[in-house]
Amino acid sequence: MNPDEMKKTAAKAALEYVESGAVVGVGTGSTINHFINFLGTIKGKIEGAVSSSESSTARLKALNIPVYDLNTVSDLPVYIDGADESNHYLQLIKGGGGALTREKIITAVSKKFVCIADQSKLVDILGKFPLPVEVIPMARSYVAREIVKMGGEPVYRENFITDNGNQILDIHGLEIMESAKLEAQLNNITGVVTNGLFAMKPANVLILGTPEGAKTIYPK
């Protein structure tokens, strides 16, 4: 089974977390694209969706799934999204596709965060995947210098603008032992919008696609 088939397996299994009559939080990325397709098959069962990116919004709308402005939604039972890495506490690195800020906002609003991924995303220590940090454009160099002082190696993601009109620095060379502390430290740098560590509010459930089928993992 190739990684894409494993992503599809995880995406299909996530359907069981979708509540009837509710608005569903929908993330961004290749794994979520499979989930959006599956969601289309049960669209009559849900009220609609909130989405973490313009690309997911376009896919949802193409399937005639109503997409709501998050400001109009007060109750969001579940948010379903992928990840670039997860540790065994279900703390995540996200933002490989640059959607981290909207993803973190929907995570904050949702009652339950169900993460879906192929089995390669589960790691012992976060940081092999470069950690994305969304920055206000005029602050980029300043933020990069601050990250260097912290021991990271920031790399500017060239020719990429987020849906919020900002830029991304990807931090290489990290071995993240204290995820929540690093998440807060990075967010405290002036000019940072947010970073891709989801440690203070980790996922509640991780569904991994494996050749043997979907495997559900709870935080250690």
Ligand X SMILES: O=C[C@H](O)[C@H](O)[C@H](O)COP(=O)(O)O
In the complex with ligand X, the residue whose CB is nearer, 152 or 196, is: 196
Q: Are 134 and 140 within 8 A, CB to CB? A: no
Least Cβ distance, residue 181 to ligand X (angstroms): 21
Q: Is 200 helix (H, G, I), strand (E, B) or coil?
A: coil
Least Cβ distance, residue 32 to ligand X (angstroms): 6
Query: Where does the chain have alpha helices with state H?
Result: 3-13, 30-41, 54-62, 100-109, 140-149, 179-187
Could you say which residues in the range 42-81 bind ligand X, by CB under 6 A? 81
Least Cβ distance, residue 83 to ligand X (angstroms): 6
Q: Are 169 and 131 within 8 A, CB to CB? A: no
Identify the bridge partners of residue 19 per DSSP, sorted by sequence position. none
| Per-residue x/- track, 103-132, ligand X (CB under 6 A) | x-----------------------------
Instruction: Kindly tell me which residue out of 14, 24, 98, 144 binds ligand X, with binding defined by CB under 6 A.
Output: 98
- Which H or E run contains 52? none
Instruction: Kindly tell me which residue out of 50, 100, 174, 182 binds ligand X, with binding defined by CB under 6 A.
Output: 100
Q: Is 209 in the site for ligand X (CB under 6 A)?
A: no
Q: Is 170 in the site for ligand X (CB under 6 A)?
A: no
Active site residues: 103
- Which H or E run contains 112? strand 112-118
Taking CB under 6 A as the binding criterion, the range among 11-19, 27-35, 173-181, 200-208 that sits at the site for ligand X is 27-35
Provide CB contacts within 8 A for 46, sequence distance 6+: 18, 19, 20, 21, 22, 23, 24, 39, 65
Q: Is 23 helix (H, G, I), strand (E, B) or coil?
A: strand
Q: Is 83 in the site for ligand X (CB under 6 A)?
A: yes
Residues in the annotated binding site for substrate: 28-31, 81-84, 94-97, 121
Residue ranges in contact with ligand X by CB under 6 A: 27-31, 81-84, 94-100, 103
